[in-house]
Amino acid sequence: MGKINAVITGIGGYVPDYILTNEELSRMVDTNDEWIMTRVGIKERRILTEEGLGTSYMARKAAKQLIQKTGVDPDSIDALIVATSTADYHYPSTASIVIGKLGLKNAFAFDFWAACCGFIYTLDVASSMIQSGRYKRIIIIGADKMSSVTDYKDRQTCPLFGDGAAAVLLEGTEEEGLGLQDSYLRTDGQGLPFLHMKAGGSVSPPSHFTVDHRMHFTYQEGRTVFRYAVTKMSEDCELIVQRNELTKDTIDWIIPHQANMRIIEALAKRLELPMEKVMVNIEHFGNTSAATIPLALWENEHRMKKGDNIIMTAFGAGFVHGANFLRWAY
| Residue 58 CA, distance from chain mean position | 13
Distance (Å, whole) CA 150 – CA 157: 7
Establish whether the linkage from the previous residue to 92 is cis, with ω within 30° of 0. yes
**Closest by Cα among 162, 109, 163 to 140:** 109
**Closest by Cα among 178, 175, 186, 142 to 297:** 142
Active-site pick, 22, 281, 287, 324: 287
202 and 29 in contact (C-beta within 8 Å)?
no
Q: Are strands 108-112 and 137-145 parallel, antiparallel or unpaired?
A: unpaired
Distance (Å, whole) CA 220 – CA 232: 17
Distance (Å, whole) CA 141 – CA 67: 12
- The dihedral through the CA atoms of 209, 212, 218, 224 has a sign that is negative
Active site residue 287: yes
Active-site pick, 5, 22, 117, 257: 257
**Closest by Cα among 293, 184, 187 to 239:** 184
Active site residue 257: yes
Distance (Å, whole) CA 55 – CA 66: 17
CB atoms under 10 Å from CB of 221, counted, come to: 13
Active-site pick, 116, 117, 158, 237: 116
- The dihedral through the CA atoms of 244, 246, 251, 255 has a sign that is positive
Fill in the amino acid letter for 111.
D
Give me the active site residues, please: 116, 257, 287
